[in-house]
Amino acid sequence: GTLRADWLQLQSELLRLPLPLLAEFNWLLAKTDHPLKTLLKKAEALSVKDQFDQNLSSGTLSLDKLFADFSEIIDRLGGEEEQARAPAGQAPADPITADEVKAIIAVDGPLSKGLQGYEERPEQLEMAQRVAQALSEGKHLMAEAGTGVGKSLAYLVPAVLFARRAGRAVILSTHTKNLQSQLFEKDLPFLRKHMGEDFEPALLKGRPNYLCLRKFMYTLQEAAHELDEEERGQMLPIMTWATQTENGDVNELAAFSPDKNFELWDRLHTVGDDCLKRQCPFYKRCFVYKARGLARGADVVVTNHALVFSDLNNESGVLPPYNEIVFDEAHKLEDVATDHLGCEVTPRRIYKILNRLYRPVQGSG
């Protein structure tokens, strides 16, 4: 019974997919033995009846019409999409005081109302007050915090207060994607809800995390010599996601692993000079520039060490102008700095370059 219900649910969800997407699926799978081939053909036939008139009147009969337009956000980047670095400005006139920080973190403060069993942790309070002092005075601070101190909140609370008062972004940099997600998806939303400060967070990753719509469309159009049979099957979840995602971040995609299928993913994202920037026909719908536009207007920007150091190596900044940065997982900084400010040759890197220059045509002897 459950299996039948799941199957019917799958069918009904397929019928809700846009007609251009179903047509593209079937074109891609035409010469393969993919197990969903029959079902997808049936779904397209039914969808033609249901959706054709509606699609024709709204002008959405081609796949690229399904991608969202982010002009409003991307326009924040101004005339040049990657602005030359500008000084971020002076420290605010009013420093963030130890008492202000204590009022937020204390057991009877606003954060305690949002967490059951909230405990006052003296080390957390001390660290938060020292971070506030360092930000206010423009000084460096190194803090080592053991497990259970709650270091994320200890630097997030003063960072948010400082960013709001100074009127510019504070950068929060992590080494791992797990911590990046934890900060952006859990800790910062928690603070927005309970801290009493209306602040704007943003998440900014490196280019290889984001789908490039130009390369995606090219790969589909040239599928005959770009994709083998297995890759055509792997493209199905990517295609559905591409028409629905707001962020284009491949980590949202449970059905596809960019690490395991790096040869396919390499053809679907840009690196450096691959990007056509403002000349790209998909520029106003670009996920990379949308993320940068959101970061440009944010109070706190969550990013990673790799992007910070690659940004230092660039003439123009990907990150918004900043004076203040918090490195969490700082024990990895030396390795990341060496990677990005040094030069390394590896077999995979050579393979990637050769693969971009030359790709054998499928089926050629």
**pLDDT tens string 16-57:** 788 788 888 888 888 888 888 888 888 878 776 555 555 444
Task: Tell me how far the alpha carbon of residue 236 is from its chain's centroid.
Answer: 21
User: Which whole number is the average pLDDT over 181-206?
Assistant: 94
Give residue 132's pLDDT band: very low, low, confident or very high (50, 70, 90): very high
What Å distances lie between residue 239 and 38, 116, 255, CA to CA? 18, 42, 11
Sheet harboring 170-174: ordered strands across?
A: 201-203, 300-304, 170-174, 325-327
- Supply the pLDDT for residue 93: 65
- Supply the pLDDT for residue 59: 42
- Supply the pLDDT for residue 50: 59
- Supply the pLDDT for residue 179: 94
* Cα–Cα distance for residue pair 166/86, rounded to 1 Å: 15
* Cα–Cα distance for residue pair 164/159, rounded to 1 Å: 9
- Supply the pLDDT for residue 338: 83
Q: What is the dihedral of CA 243, 247, 251, 255, to 10 degrees?
A: -10
- Does the pLDDT value for residue 280 go beyond 90? yes
User: Which whole number is the average pLDDT over 311-326?
Assistant: 84
Q: What is the pLDDT of residues 333-360, one digit of tens each?
A: 998 888 877 777 888 878 877 877 876 6
- Supply the pLDDT for residue 4: 79
Residue 224 neighbours by CB distance under 10 Å: 10
Q: What is the pLDDT of residues 72-97, one digit of tens each?
A: 999 998 765 455 555 566 666 689 99
- Supply the pLDDT for residue 23: 83
Structure tokens at 103: 């009022």
Task: Tell me how far the alpha carbon of residue 68 is from its chain's centroid.
Answer: 16
Q: What is the pLDDT of residues 246-259, one digit of tens each?
A: 999 999 998 899 99
- DSSP letters spanning 262-312: HHHHHTTS--GGG--GGGSTTGGG-HHHHHHHHHHT-SEEEEEHHHHHHHH
- Supply the pLDDT for residue 56: 44
What DSSP designation does 328 have? S
